[in-house]
Amino acid sequence: MTTNETTAAPARLDYARTAPKVFRAMIALDAAAREGLDPALVELVQMRTSQLNNCAYCLDMHVKDARKACETDERIYLLPVWQEAPAGVYSERERAALALAEEITRIGTGVPDAVYARAAAHFAEAELAQLISVCFTINAWNRINIATRKTPGTL
């Protein structure tokens, strides 16, 4: 192996087997967070958040899920640069959701009022609560899978 080559580190533990009560609670939280939201929107948010967090496992899973749900290659490929994508690739509602997801993921000093107001303009209050829930749930999944080095393509 040359100095430029890298190998994936082995998984550390099977989280579902080792912490089954927490894992089942996360599954239930994930399902509850998605309720009432467009599944395509949920997948976009989950893919973008996983990109930002460098979670290969979740990104792999959600790209596959998005493709099964007939998401277009164009929308998947342009997601890292959604703000620069041509008009019509992502709806204003999706753009508002992606902006909110990015701010929640990079929480730093909080979610700017303008980003929150943009999302609130496109989502009813209950939907906005669900969207925020999807954002914190995928961030939690990303952290679990990164910490345990979950291998993309495995269950």
Q: Are 130 and 78 in contact (CB under 8 A)?
A: no
d(CA 89, CA 126): 26
- Which tens digit of pLDDT belongs to each residue from 104-124? 999 988 999 999 999 999 999
Quick check: 102 pLDDT over 80?
A: yes
Q: Which residues contact 147 (CB under 8 A, 6 or more apart)?
A: 12
Quick check: 66 pLDDT over 70?
A: yes
pTM of the model: 0.90
Question: Which pLDDT band, with edges at 50, 70 and 90, does 100 fall under?
Answer: very high
